[in-house]
Chains A and B, each alone.
Chain A
Amino acid sequence: MKIEIQNTSKTYLNGKKALMDANITLEPGVYALFGENGAGKSTLMKILAGLLKPSTGKILVDGQEMSPLADAYREKIGYLPQDTPIYSNFTAAKFLSYLATVKGVPKQDVQTSVMSALEAVNMTEHANKKLKSFSGGMKRRIGIAQLLLNDPELLIIDEPTAGLDPKERIHFRNLIASIARKRIVLLSTHIVSDVGSIAREIILMKQGRIIKQANPYELLDEIATEIWTVDVTDQELLELQDTYQIGSIQQTRQGKNRVRIISSQMPHPKAVQDEPQLEDLYLYHLDERSKSA
């Protein structure tokens, strides 16, 4: 399957331009959408899920223009919204059976698809418990399970790891990596480490525009000379924070602060260049302060 989003924009009735002239091509693999709140990630995903009508542009599926509202398109997709809405008086299995029916899963396959979806998110033992008794993380896992019910070719996942604990996040990452071999997975997240290692491409969005789309390693190579590490005192740290884009800060055994700095110039006499990471990439492109630095 190949999906091409061409010249797609979305302007809301209040005049807000949520998405501007987006052009993306998606083929099987994981595509990670990075961007701050309001960058247009959810708008793009909702357009692909058929929940929002684009103001301009078109979507091609395997070269054919197709409306996201067409049955043939909707049969191919799974969508997980940012929140995890549920019917609280349904059990997990009943809720998934309901959604399987809504997704057009044949009657004889519903039970199997529900059980395998529950198994995929390690929720089999909770199948017959009411959703109102579930924690936020468990509900999120049910949300992820519903994605798999109709064996979609395109999975659109908005903030999938929100509410998941570290162990669940690792499990989710492995799950996505396994299902993305033959499918397109488009997901957005703020937690770049969750998906960076499995992403075929990273799509960086800012203020409604796609500012970068490339393989993670290509993107990291672009900033390879701009990542620095240095151990500094608290006073020096304050000075650096005033001047430079600061990444992570760690305490050293010597009581100093090991600081990652994003800068085109050497920020400190003792600073050494370090290997760029996805968090650096995120800050470099998406944090306003990186430009001033």
Chain B
Amino acid sequence: MSRLIRFELYKLCTSIPAMLFIVALLLYLMSSVFSEEEANVRAKYAAWEGRATAETFKKIHDRANKINDEDYDLDNQFGSATSYENEAFAHLYNIEEAQIFKAQGLEALANKTVEPGFDERDRALHISLLKQINLDTIRYHIPAEKAVAFTTQTGVAVLLFPLLLLIAFIYSKERVSGVDQYQLPAVNGRTKLLTAKLIAGSIFLTGVNVILHLGILGLASYRFGTIDWSAPMQVVNGLTGSPYPFSIGQYWLVSFGYQTFVLIVLGIWVLTISFFAKTAIQAILWSSILMGVPLLYQFVISGIFFPETKLFEQGILFFPSRALLTGEVFKTYQTINLGIPLLLPAAILLVQVIVTLIVLKVLYQTSRKRQVV
């Protein structure tokens, strides 16, 4: 089996599009993740490090009001320093916003009347999570935030989708070209080879995700030296309302594991599509629809093209291409009622596991009896 896996990996890794993609990915990481202005923003931010009290935030607001006053820099003596300071404030405001969300959340939950049973357990879980979030300190977190933002938002999906399309292309082409006529009559050419393909595809996608994350980590460390990952994940833009008591570093690791799992799921689904597609174009088209349509929700006017219901907004996250965006999955407190409250990220994984097991069963059954007409 290990030899089969190595050959399947060789097929994936030696394809010219894969190599071009990985080179482009590294170049992109190197060129665009961190701007030269970060050091200047850091200097402005550092002045506010310490206790994250209401008094501190009042001072920040006062300072922000001052530097943004029309009369403040008439002679333009501070130049771009003002913009660096404003950028630092934008990040600091996230901490304040997260504090407000936490306080409001706890207050609302405390006042909420709930029925015994699921609702009561759900409230207890929510309160427990919120209480564990520590937003008492301001620590320079921008490098960690940028690294996390890069790997948890839409960019990562856009980066990884071409690889999935590559898998669809390579495996569908195998059938279209007729190489499977050598494989299928061979003793290892059906289920064992399918297993090897699935494992190789999973290793390949995991490897690329590791490269992506290590690339970010390496570049961030090179640029900023030691990075402080200890700030709560709520300081990350867009996650101020998140109920999860992770530090940015913990969230980054959880997100990596989550994405890797979802990528493998998506890889299995795409491989299944390529298994049934009659042409390489068809495989790419179907895979694009599987990955692209759930993602489109983010880029088109949802009210026109998609129903604006909570069920839909949460339901769409169950599609792997959306679940890759862990920034959305971990954004708010959502649970599914299974008697006990099941947190949305866990529910998404559970559904994906069930669907994937069904897909695998169909795939293996078809593989055992596959014909070449």
Contact residues of A with B, CB < 8 Å?
Answer: 12, 46, 49-53, 68-69, 71, 74-75, 77-79, 81, 83, 85-87, 89, 94, 97-99, 101-104, 107, 146, 150, 156
Contact = CB atoms under 8 A, between A and B. Distances in A.
A11 to B, nearest CB: 12
A83 B14 CA distance: 24
A50 B184 CA distance: 8
A77 B186 CA distance: 8
B188 A102 contact: yes
Nearest to B182: A99
B186 A102 contact: yes
A192 B22 CA distance: 52
B230 interface: no
B368 to A, nearest CB: 7
Top 8 A-B residue pairs of the complex, sorted by shortest distance between their CB atoms: A85-B178, A81-B181, A104-B187, A51-B372, A103-B186, A49-B185, A85-B179, A79-B185
A194 B168 CA distance: 41
A99 B372 contact: no
Given A101-B3, A101-B7, A102-B189, A86 B369 contact: no
B172 to A, nearest CB: 13
Contacts of B11: 87
B80 to A, nearest CB: 50
Given A69-B368, A102-B193, A107-B3, A86 B179 contact: yes
B311 interface: no
A79 B181 contact: yes
A266 B373 CA distance: 45
Interface string B291-331: 00000000000000000000000000000000000000000
Interface in B337-373: 368-369, 371-373
B15 interface: yes
Nearest to A52: B371
Contact of B182 (A12, A52, A79): A79
A107 B178 CA distance: 25
Interface string B221-256: 000000000000000000000000000000000000
Nearest to A83: B178
14 contacts: A50-B185, A51-B181, A52-B373, A53-B369, A69-B369, A71-B187, A79-B181, A85-B178, A85-B182, A89-B16, A102-B4, A102-B186, A146-B182, A156-B185
A85 B185 contact: no
Contacts of B189: 74, 102-103
A89 B186 contact: no
Given A53-B371, A69-B369, A102 B183 contact: yes
B167 to A, nearest CB: 15
B177 A85 contact: yes
A150 B81 CA distance: 73
Given A81-B178, A85-B178, A99 B186 contact: yes
Nearest to A53: B371
Nearest to A68: B185
A267 to B, nearest CB: 43
Contacts of B371: 46, 51-53
Q: How large is the interface on B (under 10, 10 to 19, 20 to 34, 35 or more residues)?
A: 20 to 34
B188 A103 contact: yes
Contacts of B184: 49-51
Contacts of B373: 12, 52
B182 to A, nearest CB: 6
A69 B366 CA distance: 13
Nearest to A97: B7
Contacts of A69: 190, 368-369
Contacts of B187: 71, 74-75, 103-104, 150
B6 to A, nearest CB: 9
Nearest to B193: A102
Given A85-B178, A89-B15, A101-B4, 7 more contacts: A46-B372, A49-B181, A51-B372, A52-B373, A77-B185, A98-B7, A99-B182
A250 B11 CA distance: 52
A86 B184 CA distance: 14
Contacts of B193: 102
Nearest to A103: B186
Contacts of A74: 185-187, 189
A262 B188 CA distance: 49
A53 B369 CA distance: 8
Contact of B188 (A81, A86, A104, A156): A104
A56 to B, nearest CB: 15
B179 A87 contact: yes
Nearest to A70: B187
Contacts of A52: 371-373
A79 B371 CA distance: 14
Interface in B121-160: none
Nearest to B371: A52
- In this complex, the member of B3, B179, B183, B186 whose beta carbon has the largest number of chain A beta carbons within 10 angstroms is B186
A94 B8 CA distance: 12
A100 B193 CA distance: 13
A98 B5 CA distance: 10
A85 B368 contact: no
Nearest to A101: B3
Contacts of B188: 101-104
A99 B371 CA distance: 19
